[in-house]
Amino acid sequence: MTSLFDSDSLPSSHEQLEEGAVLLRSFAAAEAPLLVEEVARIAQGAAFRHLVTPGGYTMSVAMTNCGRVGWVSDRTGYRYDPKDPQTGSPWPAMPAAFLDIAAHAAAEAGFAHYEPDACLINRYTAGAKLSLHQDRDEKDAWAPIVSVSLGLPAVFLWGGKRRSDPVRRLRLESGDIAVWGGPARFVYHGVAPLWEGRHPLTGTARINLTFRKVF
Ligand code: MD3
Ligand code: FE
């Protein structure tokens, strides 16, 4: 593990989780307030909603998107959609601050020229969780997924390439960024039920930005 100091002198660290997976603790600490403001702006145009899975379950995590396409789920399946099905309008544009932090984090993890076309925004409140899954709806199977944690901490579940592989637990705090690409791209992962709490940036919520290269 190596430590460095970003432009605001907040300590940041670089931790290799496995081949292709890097955890950058506090990497977005300085930008976090701006990123949360941008999320609020996006949610004015594309509201957070609880999607229904193909199996008929309503997800406990509330979601919205920005960028050229957004990840959506309904009884017919999962897909990337250029329009918000709730309004019929395109998703809000990806803010420059989002592209900037995602590209910088990807470069720090060894993925140069990262240009995500989608950002799924997850909002967790107490009890909300994400069951163990793989992200495999994206065409580019090498480009990383960049995950930015904002607000309340969460326990991230991180398994292996098979569902039955042992699961490690990792606490993610506001400003932490995880980058998963290349050989780590299809690792099973999830989020344990969120603890109740209060955070100065997000109140009773945790927000996670997941950047994806879809096309
Ligand atoms: C590891 N979101 O939206 S991001 C998701 O915190 C999702 O909201 C979680 O998983 C969240 O699909 C975790 C971290 C993450 C994202 C993609 C991965 C970890 C990953 C892909 C492969 C391996
Ligand atoms: Fe995922």
Distance separating alpha carbons of residues 200 and 57, to the nearest angstrom: 32
Tell me what pLDDT residue 170 has. Answer: 96
Tell me, in angstroms, the distance from the centre of ligand 2 to residue 197's CA.
Answer: 23
Question: May I ask the CATH architecture of the domain 7-212?
Answer: Sandwich (2.60)
65 lines ligand 1 (CB under 6 A): no
147 lines ligand 1 (CB under 6 A): yes
User: Treating both helix axes as pointing N-terminal to C-terminal, what angle do 32-45 and 96-108 enclose, rounded to 10 degrees?
Assistant: 130
Where along the chain do its domains lie?
7-212
CB atoms within 10 A of CB 190: 15
Q: What DSSP element (H or E) covers 43?
A: helix 32-45
For residue range 143-161, what is the model confidence (pLDDT) as tens digits?
999 999 999 999 999 999 9
- Pick out the chain residues at pLDDT < 50: 3-9
How far is residue 53 CA from its own chain's centroid? 19
Tell me, in angstroms, the distance from the centre of ligand 2 to residue 132's CA.
Answer: 8
Tell me what pLDDT residue 44 has. Answer: 98
Tell me what pLDDT residue 136 has. Answer: 85
185 lines ligand 1 (CB under 6 A): yes
Task: Give the number of C-alpha atoms closer than 13 A to the C-alpha of residue 92, restricted to the C-beta side.
Answer: 21
Give nearest CA residue, ligand 1 atom 3.
210
Tell me what pLDDT residue 81 has. Answer: 98
For residue range 82-105, what is the model confidence (pLDDT) as tens digits?
999 999 999 999 999 999 999 999
